[in-house]
Amino acid sequence: MKEELSSPFRGRGGLSKRLIPCLDVKDGRTVKGVNFVDLRDAGDPVELAWNYSQQGADELVFLDITATVERRKTMVELVKSVARQINIPFTIGGGINEIADADALLNAGADKISINSAAVRNPALIDELARAFGVQFVIVAVDTRVMDGKNIVHLNGGRLPTEKETLDWILEAESRGAGEILLTSMDHDGTKGGFDNGLLKQVNQVVNIPVIASGGAGSVQHFVDVFHQTGVDAALAASVFHYGEILIPDLKATLKQNNIEVRI
């Protein structure tokens, strides 16, 4: 069982479920696609961050999907701009390969950092980051897709399958010091057909750290379902928030009506 009250990741709200808009950032703009491809512009990330903080988002996640040597400098400037605009926690991911990358982003104002492909290629990076900054600062993001009946971890924005089974990798990440797991079902991502509740429930039952559900949100009911059916700590979405299809105050009101505790 999870230690619901003692976990350092619950923040201000105790048992409250968290709603987390995710902003994929490419060349300084927020973008969104379907199944990790066909990207289209979704706006200025700093403006969106401010808007979400006003709406009542609990946290934000920024994922830098730009492959450039200028990445760290660019992301540090973005973090500084966001930190000046909002007062809710936010996470930065993408291109974090060593302690220095994480240190620069945290010093610029990020509350947590997220690692994905770099952690799979070098699992000891999780240990190093947890030792350097504390487990509460380290999110391990996992992109998974079903192949031959098994959930398999994928890298490079979902383009490269590995030999790692998803549940095995999540348990290893937890043992190495991951503070949270951000689990994205690539089969569901961008489809607006609902979260992968079967996998999320399976993962949430075996780990002792918070799980963030990602991939597939398309309606308010999908959020009700993921919290009721899986017990995850948070749900993350992008396009339904970016394009105004779901407004966070309305979503929170509906969750509350369904006896799901949220911060209003």
Which residues are the active-site residues? Answer: 24, 143
**CA–CA distance, 81 with 176 (Å, rounded to integer):** 32
Residues contacting residue 6 through CB under 8 Å, at least 6 positions apart: none
**CA–CA distance, 205 with 17 (Å, rounded to integer):** 16
Picking from 247, 194, 246, 198, the residue whose alpha carbon sits closest to that of residue 222 is 194
Scanning the structure block, which residue is given the tokens 């489809």?
A: 191
CA angle 31, 115, 244 (to 5 degrees): 30
